[in-house]
Structure 1
Amino acid sequence: MRFPIRHRGVLALLWSSAVAGCNTVTPVAYSEVASAHYLAPNTSDSSGRVPYRYASSVDWRSYDKVMLDPVVIYRGRDHQFGDMSEQDKVKLAAYMRSRFLESLSTRFAVVGQRQPNTLRVRLTLTGAVTNTPVLGTMSRFDLAGAVYNGVQTARDGEGLLTGSVLYVVEVLDAPSGRLLSAFVSKQYPSPYDVKASVGALAAAEAGIDKGADALVAQLR
């Protein structure tokens, strides 16, 4: 049976919706990060953005300075980069450090050495998913894609054929080295962020933007 041309795009996207999970990954408690044995399932997070967390009792207002380590690209066996090129990993790591530094500087004075009342932030890039070329953007305008993305928007979920970024944040008291907070995060743009669907790394970079702002909000 042959369908009219006007319906073929819709049918293709319906099929894509059924297999959209192939473009998504579920973060794990990465076994080779320094805080791995502290991390526990985060039962208070229903979104899946922060599935593992460690938190101690901290008055974040007592800190007014921050040190940001260079971003580490995770090399453990349980990494979630798929077949991403080393060049793209390096590009994402550089973007992550720049964007987190920008956000942290709105709350803290950025310093280069340990001082009293200073936080040390370590970021580990553990995985990423690239956008699906062309179809990711087309799905924002096709009827079937609009329905799927509308449902995902209501759920704060991922858009159809959209990329994401996965990473670990570790926050320490800089003078003592004591771990104050750690978490695994998965971030991705809104399903209707068309700009974030154009370009292989655009969604991962948009996820980094969201993650950087979320961290600063947590530390206020």
Structure 2
Amino acid sequence: MKMLRQISGLAVMGITLLMVGCARNEPVRYSGIDSASTLTVNTDDDADRIPYRYSPLVDWRKYDSIIIDPVKIYQGNDGQFDDMAQDDRRTLATYMQEQFSKALEPRFNKVKEPAANTLRLKLTLTGADTTPQVVGTFTKFDLAGGPYNIVQSIRGGKGLMSGSVDYAVEIYDANSHELLKAYVARQYPNAMNVSASIGSLSAAEVGIEKGAEELAEALR
């Protein structure tokens, strides 16, 4: 019984240390994006992943074409890349361009010039967090991280020592330049997704895939 209490105590201590070790600041409005002044606090159930947004009523069905601008890498002082290498930032920006284009292709015709019934999508990579190798995978199963990650998996929350990606989405009417939708997001894989813990950028890439799919669904 005494040994069990000791193990439980170590588990709680381990979880506390891991939580402190992987804590990150929450996404912000990012003062350097054009839509920053229009973003308001999101109070819906997805607020943990999309804390700020601008979302007026729009009839998306009238739009059948889209211009997807090249993904920008945020340069503002309020960016959340920490010490991520520039090469890794460029890798994620390229992956974001590919995945959002792929997700939107079934719904829209991709065009290069503004026209009637055309959207313009602007994506900005604003931050990212890598997954510590070995440790990220180990916490899926060890005594400290395993139970926490199981709960987070059920809740849809972020796993311990898991990477993530931060970005801003801005959607305009390509002809009128009217802002139709904007939000900032933090995306990450399911807390028990083991494959997303292999490779320092794998969790961020899975987050990009999720974000692309969610946007495609929202514009249907």
Q: TM-score, normalised by structure 2?
A: 0.92
Residue 116 (structure 2) aligns with: 116
Deviation string for 1:20-41 (max 9, x for gaps)?
Answer: 2442431011111000000010
Deviation at 1:61, TM superposition (A): 0.5
Equivalent AA in structure 2 for residue 37 of structure 1: S
Contact 2:15 2:144 in 1 (8 A): no
Residue 177 (structure 1) aligns with: 177
Residue 15 (structure 1) aligns with: 14
Counterpart mapping for 1:178-197 below 5 A: 178-197=178-197
Pick closer, same or farther for the CA change 1:27–1:91 going to 2, 3 Å.
same
Matches of 1:164 and 1:123, distance apart in 2: 16
Equivalent AA in structure 2 for residue 152 of structure 1: Q
Q: Percent identity?
A: 48
Residue 36 (structure 1) aligns with: 36
Deviation at 1:145, TM superposition (A): 2.0
Pick closer, same or farther for the CA change 1:132–1:174 going to 2, 3 Å.
same
Residue 216 (structure 1) aligns with: 216
Residue 143 (structure 2) aligns with: 143
Q: Could you tell me which runs of 5 or more consecutive residues in structure 2 were left unpaired when the two chains were aligned.
A: none
Pick closer, same or farther for the CA change 1:21–1:174 going to 2, 3 Å.
farther
Matches of 2:73 and 2:39, distance apart in 1: 19
Matches of 2:135 and 2:77, distance apart in 1: 31
User: Is the partner of 2:183 in helix, strand or coil?
Assistant: strand
Q: Could you tell me which runs of 5 or more consecutive residues in structure 1 were left unpaired when the two chains were aligned.
A: none
Q: TM-score, normalised by structure 1?
A: 0.92
Deviation string for 1:102-159 (max 9, x for gaps)?
Answer: 0010211111111110110000000000001111101112233220101111221001
Pick closer, same or farther for the CA change 1:13–1:86 going to 2, 3 Å.
farther
Contact 2:140 2:194 in 1 (8 A): yes
1:90 aligns with 2:83: no
User: Is the partner of 1:215 in helix, strand or coil?
Assistant: helix
Deviation string for 1:78-104 (max 9, x for gaps)?
Answer: 000000000000000000000000001
Matches of 2:43 and 2:17, distance apart in 1: 28
Counterpart mapping for 1:74-89 below 5 A: 74-89=74-89
Q: After the TM superposition, which parts of structure 1 deviate over 3 Å for at least 4 consecutive aligned residues? A: 10-14, 16-19
Matches of 2:149 and 2:15, distance apart in 1: 12
Matches of 2:146 and 2:18, distance apart in 1: 16
Deviation at 1:46, TM superposition (A): 4.6
Counting matched residue pairs gives 213
Residue 64 (structure 1) aligns with: 64
Pick closer, same or farther for the CA change 1:17–1:190 going to 2, 3 Å.
farther
Contact 1:80 1:128 in 2 (8 A): yes
Equivalent AA in structure 2 for residue 201 of structure 1: L
Matches of 1:68 and 1:208, distance apart in 2: 16
